[in-house]
Amino acid sequence: MMKKIVNTEKIKSSFVSSMGHLLPAGKSPEDVLGELFADVQMQNIYVDSKTFVDLIPKKRSKQLLREYKLAKKDPNFNLHEFVRRHFYELSTVRSHVPFVADLNDTISQHISKLWLDLERRNRRDKGSLIALPYTYVVPGGRFDEQYYWDSYFIMLGLATEERWDLIEGMMKNFVYMIRKFGFIPTANRTYFLSRSQPPFFSHMVRLLAGHKGKSTLVEYLPFLLKEYRFWTKGRSKLAQEEHRAYARLVEMDNGSLLGRYYDNRTSPRPESLGEDTGTAEEAIERDSERLYLHLRAGAESGWDFSSRWFENPKDIRTIHTADIIPVDLNCLLYQLELTIVDSYRILKQPLFARKFQRLADRRAVAINEYCWDDRIGFYTDYNFHHHKSTGHVSLAGVFPLFAEVASIDQAARVAEHIERDFLKEGGLVSSLVDNGQQWDAPNGWAPLQYIAIIGLRNYGYFELANKIKSAWLKTNKTVFEQEHKLVEKYNVIGGNRLGGGGEYPLQDGFGWTNGVFEALSSERD
């Protein structure tokens, strides 16, 4: 009987994988629900704007809108009641029994059980949720989808438990989305189809290759190339564009090509409509469409939001993400280029390998030319509109060590800054600015701790890396002992260690915190 169930599951997954990419992509809720969508989001029917965009309509949108237009004419009309009757909350949780932490479990035992609770399976499009062929792991809380860059750090934890079946299924889901959409969106939601996230796909491929062998690089090469084209398309259009920038590609003054975060739409984010329109209303001197683009680009960066995107580090109304060459993005694209090089070498295709090696080498030179701020002694983002460093120091500056594009001297100065300015009692702070944004002080985030630790080790700073590791794991354990949970971000400076700030309450779960904790704590000393 069990074998029959397994075979049925494989058939269903294979069908979605082979046929699903032929079906047209669904539309974002604001396009489908129009007036109803705007009314619900602007009237704050739900505390969290993401709640409504994730609900499932019980009827076809045209019929629903007709009923809405008639119903709202009633002087006693109640919008919240209308939504409650015509929408429902989708549960993709495999077990209907709510997860309850066992107070006797160690943190590692807790995480192992939590992985099962964070598993999802959804093979049919439902509302804004896009079907995926294989089981996946979600971050937790309000984040109930397979997110792009979160998944790499989740996979690090799953790998320590030898959950390669789950990792490979998640990889196949990303391949499915690349085939269907031409890129990996932020997550499998229709309202995320205009933007991506930090490109960690090549790191996922290398992680899987470490388990299955080098042939994995060849297997995923077509999709690495499609990912690369997404981030670099538009070269022929640069000359006609203002500031020589098109989509996610920018031509620098010296002719080199670097990447930026972007979004294909210039409207408020559907999942944050109230927040974005509120920002636009307060920024009366700015063009609203341009402002929305910068907010959306900031969301694509994963750092939503941070002072690194603001001209005034204290004021989100000065956000200008799309004017910036991000140091972390270009380091990740450099690593993507090198992964493609290694794939072609395995295939014994030297011409293509040399082509991408040249691209990688040029990018490394450009990163150091434009993102190294010698005055500060640290890597920063670069404002290509103003032809200068943004001057904002953040943990993104450690990515060149992670990607190994920094010189020995540059790495030494970065390490000095990390130890002197960023390392706090509870781990590394994301930036040196405390402004109420979640990717700034006093918050520390698991993925940035991991990137910094690996980057410092790459240049021999093992003692400093171990200090960071010890401080971060202690923070995770302290909160776990107090609350018996893991959270998405932590206050590394003081207080009860629970992170804060941003557009929504602190979330439990939490995928990448669990993954990084397992990866670091399982290391041999």
Q: How far apart are CA 182 and CA 289, in angstroms?
A: 25
Residue 342 identity (one-letter amino acid): D
DSSP string, 394-427: BGGGGHHHHTT-S-HHHHHHHHHHIIIIIEETTE
Q: 389: helix, coil or strand?
A: strand
Are 520 and 473 contacting, i.e. CB atoms less than 8 angstroms apart?
Answer: yes
- According to DSSP, the β-strands at 257-259 and 324-325 are unpaired
Q: How far apart are CA 439 and CA 435, in angstroms?
A: 10
φ, ψ for residue 377 (rounded to 5)?
80, 40
Which pair of tokens denotes residue 476?
């995770």
Are 481 and 429 contacting, i.e. CB atoms less than 8 angstroms apart?
Answer: no
Active site residues: 304, 488
Are 465 and 414 contacting, i.e. CB atoms less than 8 angstroms apart?
Answer: no
Q: Is the dihedral of CA 181, 182, 187, 192 positive or negative?
A: negative
Residue 349 identity (one-letter amino acid): Q
Which pair of tokens denotes residue 49?
């704007």
- Residue in the block written with tokens 């009237």: 43
Are 43 and 79 contacting, i.e. CB atoms less than 8 angstroms apart?
Answer: yes
- Cα angle 386, 389, 390; round to 5: 85
- Cα angle 323, 326, 328; round to 5: 165
Q: 46: helix, coil or strand?
A: coil
Q: Check whether the bond before 305 is cis (ω within 30° of 0).
A: yes
Q: How far apart are CA 206 and CA 228, in angstroms?
A: 16
Spatial CA neighbour of 324 closest among 338, 337, 340, 307: 307
- Residue in the block written with tokens 């969301």: 299
Beta-carbon contacts of residue 188 (< 8 Å; ≥ 6 apart): 129, 130, 131, 132, 145, 146, 173, 177
